[in-house]
Amino acid sequence: MPSLPEVHARIHEAVEQIRDDMVALSLDLHAHPELSLEEHYASERLKAWLEREGFAVESPVAGLPTAFVGRRGEGRPTIAFLLEYDALPEIGHACGHNLIATGGLAAAISLARALPEPPGSIWVIGTPGEEGAGGKVIELEAGVFEGVDAALMFHPGDRTIPWRHATATAHLRIQFHGRAAHAAGSPQEGRNALAAMIQFFVSVDGLRQHIPESARLHGIITHGGAAPNIVPDFTEAEFLVRALTREKVLELVERVQACAQGAALATGTTVEIAHASPIYAERKNNHTMASRVFQYLAELGEETEEPVLRGGTGSSDIGNVSLVLPAIHPYLKIAPRGTPGHSHAFREAARSPEAQQAMLRMAEAMAKTAADLLLDPSFLQAVQEEFRTAGPDFPQ
């Protein structure tokens, strides 16, 4: 078995070998954005690369047509790279998932080329539907992550930091049912589902004064009626309920449900409330693993910063994974400070030359860290010990 320095040198050589191909793939995915659970083009492109590199690819998995697992080697430890590749409605890859997918793939390929017979297993798990559909949660429940000893991925951002707090989130679908009538001729015969929805939003707005600063309530009306001369008999909204932990989210969901039930009672309508996707849990960052990635990032010339722990951050289904096994989700700067995610500016940043080069530096750093996990039992033990004893990161 080669030494770690030899493996690291091989990883660097492999990243250089695939550099142009990976940039081309990232830009190709960016040019073909697909919504959650509809990522057929991206899934096929990624699987084709894995098969060419000698990975045994299983697809679909967990009942998700665009999910997959690529495997090289056998036995433990098993180190998994997690790929996200869904885009956002209307603004495409404004969350930079083209970089997440390609960077994770590049890490796996370079590690597999450096260790053609690894002392353990190298997995690549395609995790569709991060933007609200909870692909990783579905895969967890289906047993896809069974046997995985550590999971690595990263996320684009406006700074390069090893970890950050993330909130737990519930995605609710609220539907009010009323009775249609002519809005001018016989309004007294109607029961206005839109009035109920408006009252619901007003009630939630009043609730915001009485929730923790770290919590967030935000939603949109997806159906508000058919025509202004018809009393709406059906309206629908989608709401996100965020809080520090899954337990606190569930407590807040009960209060949001009370707002909806009160609005229905006041307007003579009925309401249906359902979870539109699995609940995303809070994130338990593995500092030991992330710090090693950032050691290698710094050696590659990436400018890194101290971690940021603050309230009001976003959410991701990596949180659910991180509560089950050691996982990391560091952030990689691809845009100027202050550039918001899910924006047109961030979408453009995700295809910039600077972002592609940063992605490849992250891929190399993650591959070297994964090599350490495979070849250095003491490092893997330290990662696992932190997982057993540490909790999630919360705002300070």
Band (pLDDT 50/70/90 cuts) for residue 311 is: low
Q: Is residue 144 part of a domain?
A: yes
Q: Looking at the structure, do residues 16 and 160 belong to the same domain, yes or no? A: yes
Q: Residue 137: is its pLDDT beyond 70?
A: yes
97 shares its domain with 160: yes
Phi first, then psi, for residue 229 (nearest 5°) are -95, 15
Is residue 394 situated within a structural domain?
A: no
In a domain, 123, yes or no: yes
Q: How far apart are CA 223 and CA 234, in angstroms?
A: 8
* 328-383 residue pLDDT tens: 999 999 999 999 999 999 999 999 999 999 999 999 999 999 999 999 999 999 99
Confidence of residue 57 (pLDDT cuts 50, 70, 90): very high
pLDDT at res. 161: 96
- The arithmetic mean of pLDDT across residues 63-79, rounded, is 98
In the three-class reduction of DSSP (H, G, I as helix; E, B as strand; rest coil), residue 343 is classed as coil
Question: What is the per-residue pLDDT for 395?
Answer: 79
pLDDT at 87 over 90: yes
Structure-token pair, residue 42: 């991206």
pLDDT at 394: 85
- Domain end, chosen from 225, 242, 275, is at 275
Q: Can you tell me the mean pLDDT for 124-135?
A: 96
**Per-residue pLDDT at 312:** 53
Residues 271 and 376 in one domain: no
Q: Are residues 254 and 383 in the same domain?
A: no
Predicted local confidence at residue 365, as pLDDT: 99
**Are 142 and 42 within one domain?**
yes
Look at residue 396 in the predicted model and tell me its pLDDT: 66
Q: At residue 389, does pLDDT exceed 60?
A: yes
Amino acid 219: pLDDT: 97
Total domains in the chain come to 2
- Is pLDDT above 90 for 307? no
In a domain, 395, yes or no: no
Residue 8 within any structural domain of the chain: yes
What pLDDT is stored for residue 393 in this prediction? 86
Query: Does some domain include residue 147?
Result: yes
Confidence of residue 213 (pLDDT cuts 50, 70, 90): confident
pLDDT greater than 90 at residue 314: no
Q: What is the pLDDT of residue 310?
A: 65
How would you classify the pairing of strands 68-73 and 121-126?
antiparallel
Looking at the fold, whether 24 and 142 belong to one and the same domain comes out as yes
Are 240 and 307 part of one and the same domain?
Answer: no
Helix segments in the chain, DSSP class H:
4-31, 40-52, 97-114, 135-141, 193-207, 246-267, 287-299, 318-322, 344-349, 353-375, 377-389
* Residues 87 and 121 reside in one and the same domain: yes
For the stretch 158-190, what's the b/e string if a residue is b when 16 or more beta carbons lie within 10 angstroms of its beta carbon?
A: bbbbbbbbbbbbbbbbbbbbbebbebeeeeeeb
Domain membership of residue 69 (yes or no) is yes
Which of 220, 249, 275 is the last residue in one of the domains?
A: 275
The token pair at 7 is 């493996």
Q: Are residues 118 and 251 in the same domain?
A: no
Domain boundary among 240, 256, 275: 275
- Note whether residue 53 is domain-resident: yes
Question: Are 287 and 370 found together in one domain?
Answer: yes
Residue 308 pLDDT > 90: no
Task: Give pLDDT, residue 159.
Answer: 96
Q: Based on the domain organization, do 27 and 139 belong to the same domain?
A: yes
Q: What is the pLDDT of residues 39-54, one digit of tens each?
A: 999 999 999 999 999 9
Instruction: Find the CATH number of the domain harbouring 195.
Output: 3.30.70.360
CATH number at residue 315: 3.40.630.10
- Residue 13 structural domain: 4-166+282-389
Same structural domain, 319 and 172? no
Mean pLDDT, rounded, of the chain: 97
